[in-house]
Structure 1
Amino acid sequence: MSKTRSLVVPLLLAAGLAACGQNAATAENTAATESAVEAESGNTAGMAAAEVDAAANQAAAPAIPEAVPAKAQAATIAALPLKRGYYVESDTPCGQASNATTTLLRREGIGGARDFCEFKKIEQTGPNTYRVTEACGDLQDSAPPETSTSIYTVTGDTAFTAKSEHGWERSARYCAQSTMPPDWRANDISDVTG
């Protein structure tokens, strides 16, 4: 009978702790500690039935939640891991690119025929996601650039999807300059992409 009670308490304790989200190792440590205390106090006959019930109720009580580890800080990096050069909207063939579907990824930012966004801060938030703080302005307007945040999801080093906090989304992939229409092939972009 005493062996049965000695097994019942640790089993009840382990089941109760598991229900509360604690792991089995914690339950085993607790059960081992209780067995040692019983042996030390000379209680070889086990606990009385009321004590077993009390222990079972205590084990079933909700555990105090463990502290949740703080999220790791996003690492600030110098540049997006993308090839510099022309990027064309994903659904447009490189040879049919236009001002409306083409952007140029430079060392310091990205822009099209009418706008440019300077990268102010790039933080890696996941294996292939980046939070980019950028100052964007219209190249034909003298208004100061507006700062906003976009999330870039990078596929390899030749494609990305960017989602702005303002709601716009753009998916583009790298197009070698030699595959672009004649107007883009003739441009020397080495000073901004090198």
Structure 2
Amino acid sequence: MGTRLRLGSSLIFTAAMVALAACGQNAATAENANTADTTTSAADAAAVPETANTTAANEAAPPAVADAAPAKVQTVAAQTVTALPLKRGYYVASDTPCSQASNATTTLLRREGIGGARDFCEFKKIEQTGPNTYRVTEACGDLQDSAPPETSTSIYTLTGDTAFTAKSEHGWERSARYCAQSSMPPDWRANDISDVTG
């Protein structure tokens, strides 16, 4: 019986020691955690004023973008002019030699408009929209038809004062260049066009 008592006491003592050791480890862990929390809090507290100062500095200084002046967009307003700056006279399709001109390839640029053997377009309004571009409102009619002229808009792009490309809002396009009357076929050379081109 004495041996059992000693053995039991020894087991109780060992269990008590293990429990105490565990308690000590938990206490140390808790203490370390508290220390870490305290350290972190102190570091956070030290960082707060710096963040506040940075924010205040940013609010005090206006953003660089606000100081930049807005970019100005250059817009060119269309300017009404009295005539296209082209030499008046005969214009022949760009792909046709002047000496081989025909009714189908020739137009006559007059003071008030442009036309061929069968049709005529009277310039109603001419607006310069660029260095060499013009928006022309023209009333075009068939010379052999009594129907009233139809008004439409064409864009004329000039090459100097002796060539142009015209694009109609209806989709047709033509390119022509000036031909001196003396370079035209005989039928055109004999015509007096001074009354409409002068």
TM-score (structure 2 length as normaliser): 0.67
Q: Could you say which residue in structure 2 is the equivalent of 1:18?
A: none
**1:183–1:126 distance in 2 versus 1, CA, 3 Å:** same
Question: Aligned partners of 2:110, 2:119: CA distance in 1, in Å?
Answer: 13
Say which structure is richer in helix: 2
Residue segments in structure 2 that go unaligned for 5+ positions in a row: 1-51
Q: 1:47-86 to 2 correspondence within 5 Å?
A: 48-54=53-59, 59=63, 66=70, 71-86=75-90
The alignment status of 1:173 with 2:188, answered yes or no, reads no
State the one-letter code of the partner of 1:51.
Answer: A
Distance 2:147 2:77 in 1: 34
Alignment of 1:138-157 (within 5 A): 138-157=142-161
Q: CA deviation at 1:62?
A: 8.0
Distance 1:65 1:103, change over 3 A: same
Equivalenced residues, count? 147
CA distance, structure 2, for counterparts of residue 67 and residue 60 of structure 1: 15
Cα distance change of structure 1 residues 63 and 117 upon mapping to structure 2, 3 Å threshold? farther
Check conservation: 2:76, 2:129, Cα contact below 8 A: no
**Amino acid across the alignment from 1:100:** A
- SS of the equivalent of 1:123 reads strand
Identity of aligned residues (%): 80
SS of 1:48's equivalent in the other structure is helix
| Unaligned 5+ runs, structure 1 | 1-46
Q: Provide the C-alpha distance between the structure 2 equivalents of 1:75 and 1:121, rounded to a whole number of angstroms.
A: 11
User: Bigger shift: 109-118 or 73-82?
Assistant: 73-82
Deviation at residue 50 of structure 1 after TM alignment: 1.9
CA contact (8 A) 2:137 2:151 kept: yes
Letter in 2 for 1:48: N
Q: Does 2:138 align with 1:134?
A: yes
Could you say what secondary structure the match of 2:63 adopts? helix
Instruction: Give secondary structure in 2 for the equivalent of 1:49.
Output: helix
Give TM-score, length-normalised by structure 1.
0.68
Alignment-derived partner of residue 95 in structure 2: 91
CA RMSD of aligned residues (A): 2.5
